[in-house]
């Protein structure tokens, strides 16, 4: 499927776009491609979103804007992502997601991805969710994530990702959430005004370097177990400056966290209580 530069498509509230194959949405700086909803009588312009499934070749998106998605709700199935790639590799460059009112603005599942200069902003809940996928993200920005409470900006499950030169501003919950046996290498990251700057959990490994975390309300760095079946996590930070944060670093007994080669002392941590209070959905 191919859409030409300068195209704007508007969808009714119950409509979504489903493609079983690769898609080429390549706009230009002067002629972007826009997907958005039709305003209803109450002024709500939300629509369900886009699903790309089981594509036999990579998709390519460039200079694309997606506004006000809500996730897929169909009689026989549903998806949490406003935009979902399922067993479908994707390359994105200069793509903007704004105003998602569902659970995830972008969800990539069992796919390879390359994301360059993407932006996700003004979400009700989470921004990006990678499930059992592998890829890179460079030069991107996440801002105003989780406006109804909760809300992770970058959430990994069973994934292996490299990130560079990316900013996280005004994140209700976690800027980086690495879980369920995932690996994330993050370099030159800027985090400001978040619940938690970077969290590694459930047999995951997170390495962050040459970065800054400012204004973390829960912790700058956090390593712990949420799901017992996975086990402890590891987090290493090098040349990462943490300022104006309630707790610079916290690690649950059994997990491992180090800063500039120095091991942070472990402590007993009631993770259930943590998720019921400062990390709970609907609270900031």
Residues 128-152: what's their mean pLDDT? 95
Q: What percent of the chain has pLDDT over 70?
A: 93
Please tell me the total count of domains within the chain: 1
| Residue 168, both tokens | 């996280």
Residue 190 falls inside a structural domain: yes
The pLDDT of residue 246: 82
Three-state secondary-structure class, residue 272:
helix
CB 179 within 8 A of CB 208: no
| Residue 114, both tokens | 């390359």
- 136 is in which domain, residue-wise? 2-276
Residue 283 falls inside a structural domain: no
Residue 25 falls inside a structural domain: yes
The pLDDT of residue 284: 47
Question: Pseudo-torsion of CA 153, 36, 72, 163, nearest 10°?
Answer: -30
pLDDT in tens, 154-190: 999 999 999 999 999 999 999 999 999 999 999 999 9
Helix (H) or strand (E) holding 160: strand 160-179
CB 199 within 8 A of CB 174: yes
Residue 281 falls inside a structural domain: no
Residue 204 falls inside a structural domain: yes
| Residue 41, both tokens | 């009588």
pLDDT in tens, 193-238: 999 999 999 999 999 999 999 999 999 999 999 888 889 999 999 9
Residues 103-125: what's their mean pLDDT? 97
The pLDDT of residue 238: 98
pLDDT class of 40 with cuts at 50, 70, 90 = low
Residue 133 falls inside a structural domain: yes
Evaluate if residue 123 carries a pLDDT over 90: yes
d(CA 11, CA 168): 30
Q: Residue 117: CB partners within 8 Å, gap ≥ 6?
A: 93, 94, 95, 138, 139, 140
Evaluate if residue 271 carries a pLDDT over 80: no
Residue 227 falls inside a structural domain: yes
pLDDT averaged over the chain?
93
Evaluate if residue 51 carries a pLDDT over 90: yes
User: CATH number, domain at 97?
Assistant: 2.160.20
Residue 34 falls inside a structural domain: yes
Residues 22-40: what's their mean pLDDT? 94
CB 178 within 8 A of CB 156: yes
CB 160 within 8 A of CB 134: yes
Evaluate if residue 46 carries a pLDDT over 80: yes
Find where tokens 């998709």 sit.
59
| Residue 250, both tokens | 């916290």
Per-residue DSSP letter, 276:
H
């Amino acid at each position: 499927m191919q859409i030409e530069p300068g195209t704007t498509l508007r969808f009714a509230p119950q409509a979504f776009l489903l493609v079983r194959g690769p898609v080429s949405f390549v706009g230009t700086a002067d002629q972007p491609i826009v997907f958005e909803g039709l305003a209803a009588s109450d002024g709500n312009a939300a629509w369900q979103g886009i699903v790309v499934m089981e594509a036999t070749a990579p998709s390519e998106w460039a200079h694309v804007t997606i506004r006000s998605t809500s996730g897929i709700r169909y009689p026989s199935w549903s998806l949490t992502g406003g935009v979902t790639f399922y067993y479908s590799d994707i390359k994105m460059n200069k793509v903007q997601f704004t105003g998602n009112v569902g659970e995830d603005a972008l969800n990539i599942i069992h796919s390879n991805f390359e994301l360059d200069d993407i932006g996700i902003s003004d979400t009700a809940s989470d921004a990006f969710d990678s499930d059992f996928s592998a890829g890179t993200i460079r030069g991107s920005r996440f801002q105003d994530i989780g406006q109804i409470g909760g809300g992770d900006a970058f959430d990994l499950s069973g994934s292996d990702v490299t990130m560079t030169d990316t900013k996280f501003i005004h994140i209700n919950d976690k800027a980086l959430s690495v879980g369920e046996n995932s690996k994330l290498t993050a370099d030159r990251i800027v985090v400001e005004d978040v619940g938690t700057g970077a969290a590694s959990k459930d047999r995951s490994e997170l390495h962050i370097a040459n970065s800054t975390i400012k204004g973390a309300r829960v912790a700058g760095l956090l390593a712990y177990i949420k799901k017992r079946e996975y086990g402890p996590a590891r987090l290493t930070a090098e040349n990462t400056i943490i300022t104006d944060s309630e707790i610079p670093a916290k690690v649950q007994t059994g997990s491992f966290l180090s800063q500039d080669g120095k091991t942070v002392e472990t402590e007993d941590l009631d993770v259930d209580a943590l998720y019921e209070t400062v990390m709970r959905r609907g609270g900031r």
